[in-house]
Amino acid sequence: MQLTGVERILAFTRKHASARKAMAVFVRTVKEAEWRHSADMQRCSFGSDIVGKLEDGRFIVEFDVGGNKYRVKAAVNFEAWAVHILKARTHAEYDKEYGL
């Protein structure tokens, strides 16, 4: 997959050093992936949930990273084999953001 927005993950790992290894695995896994549809994505080693769809047809996906310690929100275009990182955060930050 083509991966953009990685600078958001880099900024996150500068703030949360304990996330570096898990995020590096996530980035490598996404770059090596060949997701043609959501079922391909959901067979990966980390969890993923489609939480919305943008007007341009991209899906908004929340990925569980590092044993569910971290969350990555991304826009995924299966037709173009492209993933754009929107946000990286701890699971606690995710819960707070959504009032959980």
> Tens digit of pLDDT for each residue in 32-62?
999 999 999 988 878 899 999 999 999 999 9
Q: Is residue 16 part of a domain?
A: yes
Q: Is residue 12 part of a domain?
A: yes
CATH number of the domain that 86 lies in? 3.30.2310.20
Containing structural domain, residue 65? 2-93
**Predicted confidence band at 98 (pLDDT cuts at 50, 70, 90)?**
confident
Q: Is residue 58 part of a domain?
A: yes
Q: Is residue 99 part of a domain?
A: no
Phi, psi of 35 (to 5 degrees): -85, 115
Q: Say how many domains are in the chain.
A: 1
Q: Is residue 49 part of a domain?
A: yes
Question: Could you give the angle at which helices 20-32 and 6-15 cross, rounded to 10 degrees?
Answer: 170
Question: In 29-81, at which residue ranges do the beta strands (DSSP E only) sit?
Answer: 48-53, 59-65, 70-77
The β-bridge relationship of strands 59-65 and 48-53 is antiparallel
C-beta of residue 27 within 8 angstroms of C-beta of residue 4: no
pTM reported for the whole predicted model: 0.92
> Tens digit of pLDDT for each residue in 3-26?
999 999 999 999 999 999 999 999
